[in-house]
Amino acid sequence: MDEIYREHLLDHYKNPRRFKELKDPDIHKHDSNPLCGDDIEIFVKLDTKKEKITDISFKGQGCVICISSASMLMEELVGKKINEVNKMQTEDMLKILGIELTHSRIKCMMLPLKTLQKGIVEYFSKEN
């Protein structure tokens, strides 16, 4: 990994963006990686039509990849449509992170997105 990129990741790890609890979130989901016990909690506020993310934040603990990917993901998702978030996959996260990862680290990278997607499914299954 080149030095500049390593610093970029470490910066997100040490100073995670949107690392806080949101009051009265529409979606609040907690999940963990059973392999290491690291965990992530995601908070989301939706627009009145429940189509877009208007605010999003996270809390939790994890390895550098997990926390950096959560932090970078938060920055990408404000204003994003829920149906687009649902479609996001490993390749999308790799693009956001901008690095290649081994299989075990892909699980770390995917924990924040998977947690959010589970929260979205639960929220909309309760709504209907």
Q: Which chain residues interact with ligand FES by CB under 6 A? A: 33, 36, 38, 62-63, 65-66, 108, 111
Paired strand residues for 46: 53
- Nearest to ligand FES of 4, 35 (CB atom): 35
Paired strand residues for 30: 41
CB distance 24 to 46 below 8 Å: no
CB distance 108 to 65 below 8 Å: yes
Tokens describing residue 38:
């690291």
Paired strand residues for 55: 45
- Nearest to ligand FES of 13, 123 (CB atom): 13
Residue nearest to ligand FES (CB): 108
Instruction: Give least dist CB 62 to ligand FES, A.
Output: 4
- Nearest to ligand FES of 42, 108 (CB atom): 108
Instruction: Give least dist CB 70 to ligand FES, A.
Output: 10
